[in-house]
């Protein structure tokens, strides 16, 4: 069956795996290819070969106007993955093609834990945190793909990550001649749709140029969308949050957490409870965090099972009051069960399947911090192997 015949109608996930396998063959791939239906990925060249995860590109395929062109582009990108162009041997030749790539911290963590579970080496990929939930890496920009730059490449060039990222920022300026587009006074959106719109958060001096009410607030719901409004523009904040929430229905969402520009630095936006946009902001932040915690739990459970580690990864539970729409969260700390505990609005203390009480997070850290060990994860989790004594728990519950 020819490749063209696949594009006459949408295909299911199993059919898409077969379609990508054929496309890779037509792109020149000669190594063995195995389709893992459960993981929805192609294994190219054996267990230590290339892993082609298909989830995101399948979403893009379903939305593409020209599905044939999209599949061929995906195949070319995977064929180039791991292939280092000769120009990367010299810094002066590689520098003009470097760009900053903004990714979710959860993406980076997902890959790390997945590779550890598979027993594969984890690439040493330097990144710079941006806000609480994003991180910037370096990529070598190719027509159909982006080649990630590791510490080994930087060592070869004898260039620090900071200097290379600054050079990449300069290159991003060169391809950002267009202005942000006005949605309405005080609300702006990016015009480029070139896979680097989100990365323009690095161009704080570009964002400064566009007037808003209060300080600049930005959100990047996906890699092709940058939205900017002001901290004192309640209507603008509600609109960018609404657009970010809709991004979850599309491909490659990056979350729904706004960032506040302070000088040249982006930090997570915090709104007071009486702010008109507080309820929407709280909901968007909770949704993004809950999604990260759920994904992380699945990954850690698989890793622990692989390593035969007896450690419970607690569930982050989001709640909503039906009468007011107010959202909140909790996690459970059970006596006698070694647990990795996520941060939540409240922690429920459980003994013999009975809830003793719920304590706000700040009070939990204050009263029981000696029983909690942060693990350096993203999102952070605290290992709790003990349980508060009755007197300490009664005191925390009274506070």
Distance between CA atoms of 345 and 59, rounded to whole angstroms?
33
- For the record, the structure tokens of 10 come out as 């949408």
38 and 118 share one domain:
no
pLDDT(89) > 80 = no
Instruction: Count other C-beta atoms under 10 Å from residue 168's C-beta.
Output: 25
331 and 391 share one domain:
yes
219 and 313 share one domain:
no
301 and 329 share one domain:
yes
The residues facing 32 across adjacent strands are none
Cα within 13 Å of Cα(336), Cβ side: 4
Calculated CA dihedral for residues 358, 363, 368, 374, nearest 10 degrees? 100
Distance between CA atoms of 69 and 243, rounded to whole angstroms?
28
pLDDT(393) > 60 = yes
When pLDDT is averaged across residues 59-74 and rounded to a whole number, the result is 81
111 and 169 share one domain:
yes
**313-360 per-position pLDDT tens digit:** 999 999 998 888 889 999 999 999 999 999 999 999 999 999 999 999
309 and 387 share one domain:
yes
Q: What's the pLDDT score for residue 6? A: 40
- Domain C-terminal end among 241, 270, 299: 270
- Domain C-terminal end among 270, 304, 332: 270
Angle at 27 between CA 26 and CA 30, to 5 degrees: 80
Write the burial class of residue 333 (CB in 10 Å: 0-12 exposed, 13-18 middle, 19+ buried): buried
Provide the residue range defining the domain that includes 132. Answer: 86-174
Instruction: Count other C-beta atoms under 10 Å from residue 210's C-beta.
Output: 17
143 and 191 share one domain:
no
Distance between CA atoms of 162 and 185, rounded to whole angstroms?
36
- Residue 328 in any domain: the answer is yes
- Domain C-terminal end among 80, 110, 127: 80
351 and 260 share one domain:
no
The whole-chain average pLDDT of the chain stands at 89
Q: What's the pLDDT score for residue 30? A: 84
Distance between CA atoms of 347 and 283, rounded to whole angstroms?
19
- Residue 52 in any domain: the answer is yes
Among 27-31, 247-251, 272-276, which stretch is predicted with the lowest mean pLDDT? 247-251
The pLDDT confidence band at residue 244, using thresholds 50, 70 and 90, is confident
381 and 300 share one domain:
yes
Q: How many domains does the chain have?
A: 4
- Residue 284 in any domain: the answer is no
199 and 170 share one domain:
no
332 and 300 share one domain:
yes
Peptide bond preceding 379 in cis form (omega within 30 of 0)? yes
For the whole model, what pTM was predicted? 0.81
Angle at 181 between CA 243 and CA 144, to 5 degrees: 80
Which of 42, 38, 15 lies closest to 27, judged by CA? Answer: 42
Instruction: Count other C-beta atoms under 10 Å from residue 184's C-beta.
Output: 11
- Residue 335 in any domain: the answer is yes
Which residues, in sequence order, are CB contacts of 41 under 8 Å at separation 6+? Answer: 35, 51, 52, 53, 54
Q: Where are the alpha helices (DSSP H) in the chain?
A: 13-26, 55-63, 67-80, 91-94, 105-117, 151-157, 161-174, 204-207, 234-247, 278-307, 361-368, 390-398
Distance between CA atoms of 334 and 355, rounded to whole angstroms?
9
Which of 195, 281, 211 lies closest to 244, judged by CA? Answer: 281
- For the record, the structure tokens of 343 come out as 């941060």
Q: What's the pLDDT score for residue 316? A: 98
Q: Which residues of 357-382 are buried (b: 16+ CB within 10 A; e: fewer)?
A: eebebeebeebbeebbeeeebbbebb
- Residue 337 in any domain: the answer is yes
List Cα–Cα distances, 128 to 31, 135, 136, 229, in angstroms. 35, 5, 5, 24
- Residue 309 in any domain: the answer is yes
- Residue 132 in any domain: the answer is yes
DSSP structure string for 367-384 = HHGGGEEE---SS-EEEE
pLDDT(8) > 50 = no
Distance between CA atoms of 316 and 330, rounded to whole angstroms?
6
- Residue 283 in any domain: the answer is no
């Amino acid at each position: 069956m020819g490749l063209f015949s696949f594009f006459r109608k949408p295909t299911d996930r199993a059919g898409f795996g077969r379609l990508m396998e054929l496309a890779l063959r037509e792109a020149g791939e000669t190594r063995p290819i195995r389709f893992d239906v459960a993981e929805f990925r192609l294994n190219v060249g054996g267990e230590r070969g290339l892993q082609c995860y298909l989830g995101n590109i399948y979403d893009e395929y379903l939305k593409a106007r020209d599905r044939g062109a999209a599949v061929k582009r995906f195949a070319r990108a995977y064929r180039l993955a791991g292939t280092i162009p000769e120009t990367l041997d010299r810094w002066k030749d590689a520098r003009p093609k470097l760009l900053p790539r903004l990714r979710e911290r959860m993406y980076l963590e997902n890959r790390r834990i997945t590779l550890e579970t598979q027993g594969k080496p984890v690439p040493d990929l330097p990144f710079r945190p941006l806000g609480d939930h994003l991180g910037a890496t370096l990529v070598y920009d190719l027509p159909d793909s982006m080649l990630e730059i590791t510490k080994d490449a930087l060592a070869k060039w004898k260039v620090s990550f900071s200097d290379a990222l600054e050079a990449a920022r300069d290159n991003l300026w060169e391809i950002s001649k267009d202005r942000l587009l006005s949605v309405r006074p005080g609300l702006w959106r990016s015009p480029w749709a070139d896979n680097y719109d989100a990365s323009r958060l690095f161009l704080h001096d570009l964002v400064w140029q566009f007037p808003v009410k209060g300080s600049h607030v930005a959100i990047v719901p996906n890699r092709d969308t940058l939205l900017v409004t002001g901290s004192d523009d309640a209507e603008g904040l509600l609109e960018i949050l609404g657009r970010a929430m809709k991004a979850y229905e599309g491909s490659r969402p990056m979350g729904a957490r706004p960032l506040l520009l302070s000088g040249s630095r982006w930090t997570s936006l915090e709104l007071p409870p009486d702010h008109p946009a507080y309820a929407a902001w709280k909901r968007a932040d909770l949704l993004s965090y809950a999604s990260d915690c759920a994904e992380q739990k699945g990954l850690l459970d698989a890793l622990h099972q692989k390593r035969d580690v007896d450690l419970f990864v607690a569930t982050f539970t989001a709640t909503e009051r039906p009468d007011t729409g107010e959202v909140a969260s909790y996690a459970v700390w059970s006596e006698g069960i070694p647990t990795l505990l996520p941060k939540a609005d409240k922690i429920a203390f459980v003994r013999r399947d009975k809830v003793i009480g719920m304590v706000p997070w700040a009070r939990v850290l204050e009263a029981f911090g000696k029983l909690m060990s942060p693990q350096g994860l993203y999102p952070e989790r605290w290992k709790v192997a003990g349980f508060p004594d009755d007197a300490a728990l009664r005191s925390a519950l009274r506070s």
